[in-house]
Structure 1
Amino acid sequence: MTTAFADPAFGPVLYFRRHEADRLHLAALVGRPASAGTPDPLLASGGEIAPKPLGQVDGFQLWRFDFALGADDRGYRFEGREYPVITDLSSDMRIAFVSCNGEENGDLDRDAPERNAMWDRLAAEHAEQPFALMLQGGDQIYADEVTQGHDLTEDWPDYAPDTATQAQLDDLRAYLRRRFTERYLMVLSAEAYARIAAQVPSLSVWDDHDICDGWGSLADDLANSAVGQTLFDVAREMYLLFQHAATEADIPDLFTDPHGTSLGWVRYLPDLTLIGPDLRSERTRRRIMGPAGWQAFDALEPRAGQTIMVSSVPLLGPRLSLIERLLQVIPKMQHYEDDLRDQWQSRAHRAEWRRMQRAVLRLREAGPLTVVSGEIHVATRAEMLPRESLIHQLVASGISHRAPPKAYGRALGMLAYLGEAPLKEHPIRNLFLPGQKQRYISQRNYLTLDRKAGRWQAVWNLEESGRTPPLALSE
C-alpha cells in the first residue's frame, strides 16, 4: 500500500532558533515535489538566502532556509509574497499557545472548516494583534492510525510480532515515513495554520500522539520490540523534520542534550526564558524523564525575568492516583490505566513528580514562573503556593480536538476539591478560569500570553464562551 500526497506543496513555515544581539534567528521550511527542483531564494534583511535540502520522502522534498532579521526588519519575502514578522522582542509582545491539533480516529477525513475553526479564530486574532511566537505543547499531529495497513503493525498496540526480518522492518519504515508525512502535510497546509505559521515562528514539544497513543505508557515488550522501536525512530525523524526543521546534525545546536537522547530545549529572549523539557523520548511505565533529560534539566540556571515552561502533560493537577486505584477494581476499565499513567500525578510517578516540582521551584527563585500545558482536552488552571514562590499552571487543550462531554469537566472539578500537595509546604489549588464558574471547561480552546509594560497576563479563547478576562501572571 502506498500513500498519495494530493497537494504536497506547503510552506513557508517558521521556526524560532534564537534571539541574540537584537537579531531574531529563524528557519523556514518548505515542501515541494522533488520534480519541482530547487526553490527560489528567500529574501531577508537585504540578502538572498539559498535553500538547503533536508530530506525526501517518496518523491517529496523538504527544504530549509536559515536567516536572521534585525529589530528594524519587517519580515521576509518568498516566491513573490511579503511575510510580516514581529522582530522587536524587547518590549511588549504576544505569544500563542496551542496543543492537541487532531483526533485519534478519522482525522484526515474531518470536515476542514469544523476541524480548523479555532485555527481560523487564532489567525483572525493574529491579524488584529500579531503574535511574536507560537508555542506548541504536544500532539501536533495524531499519528494513531499510521500503523494501520501494514502486516507488522496492523494490530498495534495490542500486538507486535516477536520476530521480523530486516527486509520487513525496512518496508515498515518506508511505509510509516509516508504515513507520518501524510499527517504532517495535512496539518501544515491547512489554510488558517499556514497563514499563521508563515508569519509566527514556533517552538514545539512532542507528546504521545506525535508517536502513537500512550507511547511510553505501553507495555515494555511492545515499546522495546523491533516494531516498536521502528515506529519510535520514524516518529522522531518526522518530529525533527516537520516540527523543528531539523535533522540529527542540528541536534547539538537546538536541544539541551547534544546527543539527542532527550529533545528538551531552552531559549533566551529579553527578560524571558522559554523551557521545554522532553517528556516522551525516555519515558517508560516507571518514569517520565530519563537520565539524559534530567541531566539537561538540572543544569538549567535560574534567570531573572519571566520563565515560561512547556510541560506537555500538566505539572499541577488533582489526585489522579485515586482514580487509578478505582479502575483496578472495575471490570473492563483497566485499559484507561495507560491514560492515567501518562500523567505526572500517577502513583507510578509520584517521586519523580516531587523531583520536578522541586526543580521548578529552584528555577522560580530568580523570577516569576508559569507552566503551560495541553494533553487533557479541556481548559483549566492551577497554582502552587505559597504566594512568595507562586507558580501558575495554565492548561489549553485542544485547538482542534473536539471537547469531551461537559460531565467530564464537572467530574474533574469534583476531584479537584480534594486538593493535592506532593510537597507538603507547597499545596496545589485548582482554580476557576477568569469569568468561568467551573474549574475544567469542556470547550476547544487556545491560550494567549501578553507582555505589556513588562507585566504578563494570560487569556483563554474558548470556542463557545469567547475570550476570558485577563489573568495577571507577573508579581
Structure 2
Amino acid sequence: MDISAPFAPLSATLSTVLGPFLSLDDLRDGQMHLAALFVAPNGIVVSPVVIDGFEVAPEILADFDHVTLWRCRFRRPATQPSTYRWEGQIFGLAGCPEGAMRIAYVSCNGEEHGDLSRDGAERNAMWARLVDDHDAAPFSLLLHGGDQVYADEVTLGHELSEDWPDSLPRDPSRADLDSLRHHLREGFLERYLSILAGPEYAAIAARVPSLMQWDDHDICDGWGSLRRSRTYSPVGQLLFQVAREVALLFQHGCNDDDLPRRFADKKALHLGWQIDAPGLRLLAPDLRSERSRREVMGDGGWQMMQDAAGAPSGGRTLVMSSVPLLGPRLSVLEALMVAIPSMQKYEDDLRDQWQSRAHRGSWQRMLRLMRQIAEVEDQEVTVLSGEIHLATRAEMALSDDKTLHQLVASGISHRAPPGAWARILDALARLGDSPLPGHPIRIRHIPGQPRRYVNQRNYLVLENDAGAWSASWALEDSGRSPELPI
C-alpha cells in the first residue's frame, strides 16, 4: 500500500544520539520539573543524566522503525541558575527568578512545501541568532507558539491519503488504515527529526526549557477549518490521532499515560496547559483539538480559560494564542473571497482566524475573558501570537489604566511572504474593529518600523526588570527593535 516516500528517511541513517531537548513539565514547590528527550538508533541505550552527582536513567518513551525515543525526568531549582550533566557535558539553566526573567517566543518553524530539503544554514539562520542572544544573556524559557513542524506533505506517498483533503476513500479496510497509520507515524517522525538534527536548534533546546502550543500545520493545513466530511472521515481522524500522539512525544516529552501536571485536561481531550511562575502565569489554550468550522474551542478549552479568569494571579499573565487574538477586520476579505470563485480555496485560511465571521461570538467571549483577567488590581495580561509569517503588534484598551497588548512573532524559519500581503493587511488595519463595544482594537507599529506589518523572519524577546516587562523583536534584516514597555 505504501507508495515511494517524498523524502529520504533521516531516521534510517541516524548513527548518534540526538539530545537532550528540554521541556518544562511543571513549576512548583520551588522546582523546575523538566523532561529531557533523546532520539537514539534502535538498540542504543541512552546514558543517564547526572544531577548533583546522582545518575537519573532515561526510560523508553516510544519506538519507531529505526529509532527509539527516550525521556529523562528530573528537577532543578526554579528561581536560581543551575546545571545538569550528560555524557560529560555540563548544561547551564537560567531558572525563573522573579523580576529577572528573559523569555523567547517563536512560531512557524518550517514551510508548507519542501521543508525537508532546505539548506540547513538558511533555514535555521534565526535559530543561530537566538543562540547568540542566549549566550549574551540567558533565557529562562522558550515558548513555541504553533506550527513547530509543517506536516502538510506527510499525507503524500500513501494511497489512502495521497489526495488529502480533496479526495478520500469511502470505506477503507482495517488493514489499509493500519498501513496508513504506520506511514503517517514515520512521516511525522522525519519532520520532527529534521528539526532536532539542526545544530542551531539543538544548542538552544538543551539549555532552555521549551513550552509548546500546537497549531494546524502540526496536524495538517487548516485542521478544524476543513469540511466535516474531511476531518471526520476515517483518514482524517487517523491523521489527527497520529499527529496528536507524535506531538505529545516531541513537543511535550510524554504520552497519554503520563501527562505533565500543567495540562488542564488529564484525559488530554484538549492540550491546553498552565504554568505558574513567580510573578508570572502562562496560559496556553488549545485552539486545534476541539476546533470546528463554527467553534474555536470546545467545552474543555473554554472551561480552562474561565477557570483561569476566575482565579486571580498577581503579576503578569501571558496568554498564548496560536492565531492572533487582536487583528484587522478580516471579515471584509473573507466576504470578498467567498464571492470570487478562484479565491474560495483560501476560505479555510481565513476561517482559521478569530476574526472570521464564523467565530465572532467566540472572539468576543475570549476578549471578555481577557478583560476579566485584567480586572484584578495587580494583574496585567498580554497575548503572544504567531501564525501569520509577519511581525506586528496590537492594542485594545481594557480600562482607563490597562491595555491588552498583543505581540506577534512569526516565523522563526518560515520565509516572509511578499510585501504586498503586508500592505493588504496594513490597509485592512486602517478600518479598525471593535468586537467589544467601547474597546477598539488598534494595530500598532513595532518601534522603529515604518509599517504595521513587518515581512521579515523574526522572534520575540520578553524581559522582566524588577517587575517591569518589555518586548523587542529580533528581525532578520532590521536587527533588534527598540524595547517596547508593556
- Comparing 301-310 and 71-80, the one that deviates more: 71-80
The one of 25, 28, 41 equivalent to 2:36 is 28
Offset of 1:73 from its aligned partner?
5.4
Aligned to 2:171: 163
TM-score normalised by L of structure 2: 0.95
Offset of 1:390 from its aligned partner?
1.1
Distance in 1 (CA, whole Å) between partners of 2:42 and 2:88 is 21
What is the CA deviation profile of residues 306-335 of structure 1, one whole-angstrom value per residue up to 9, with x for unaligned ones? 110100000000000000111122231000
TM-score normalised by L of structure 1: 0.97
Within the alignment, does 1:415 sit opposite 2:424 as a pair?
no
- Comparing 313-322 and 82-91, the one that deviates more: 82-91
1:175-324 equivalence runs, <5 A = 175-251=183-259, 253-300=261-308, 301-324=311-334
Aligned to 1:80: 88
Within the alignment, does 1:65 sit opposite 2:72 as a pair?
yes
Match for 1:139: what amino acid?
D
**Contiguous gaps of at least 5 residues in structure 2:** none
- Comparing 166-175 and 325-334, the one that deviates more: 325-334
CA contact (8 A) 1:72 1:88 kept: yes
Within the alignment, does 1:437 sit opposite 2:464 as a pair?
no
The one of 382, 388, 392 equivalent to 1:370 is 382
Offset of 1:188 from its aligned partner?
1.2
Distance in 2 (CA, whole Å) between partners of 1:134 and 1:72 is 17
Distance in 2 (CA, whole Å) between partners of 1:59 and 1:115 is 25
Match for 2:389: what amino acid?
H
| Secondary structure of 1:268's aligned partner | strand
Aligned to 1:124: 132
Q: 1:383 to 1:444 in 2, by over 3 A?
A: same
Distance in 2 (CA, whole Å) between partners of 1:252 and 1:141 is 22
Q: 1:339 to 1:271 in 2, by over 3 A?
A: same
Distance in 2 (CA, whole Å) between partners of 1:291 and 1:281 is 11
Aligned to 2:411: 398
Match for 2:344: what amino acid?
Q
Q: 1:263 to 1:62 in 2, by over 3 A?
A: same
| Secondary structure of 1:299's aligned partner | helix
Distance in 1 (CA, whole Å) between partners of 2:18 and 2:372 is 42
Distance in 2 (CA, whole Å) between partners of 1:45 and 1:437 is 51
Match for 1:437: what amino acid?
P
Offset of 1:4 from its aligned partner?
5.0
Aligned length: 472
Q: 1:91 to 1:157 in 2, by over 3 A?
A: same
Match for 1:277: what amino acid?
P
The one of 129, 139, 152 equivalent to 1:144 is 152
Aligned to 2:362: 352
The one of 43, 47, 65 equivalent to 1:40 is 47
Aligned to 1:50: 57
| Secondary structure of 2:73's aligned partner | strand
| Secondary structure of 1:333's aligned partner | helix
What is the CA deviation profile of residues 84-115 of structure 1, one whole-angstrom value per residue up to 9, with x for unaligned ones? 11125223110000000000000000111111
Aligned to 2:26: 18
What is the CA deviation profile of residues 261-308 of structure 1, one whole-angstrom value per residue up to 9, with x for unaligned ones? 111000000000000000000111111101111122211123110110
Distance in 1 (CA, whole Å) between partners of 2:82 and 2:365 is 43
| Secondary structure of 2:450's aligned partner | coil
What is the CA deviation profile of residues 165-193 of structure 1, one whole-angstrom value per residue up to 9, with x for unaligned ones? 11100110011010000000000121110
Match for 2:404: what amino acid?
I
Distance in 2 (CA, whole Å) between partners of 1:118 and 1:139 is 16
Distance in 1 (CA, whole Å) between partners of 2:437 and 2:95 is 43
What is the CA deviation profile of residues 335-380 of structure 1, one whole-angstrom value per residue up to 9, with x for unaligned ones? 0111000000000000010001111111122311110000000000
Aligned to 2:336: 326
CA contact (8 A) 1:139 1:209 kept: yes
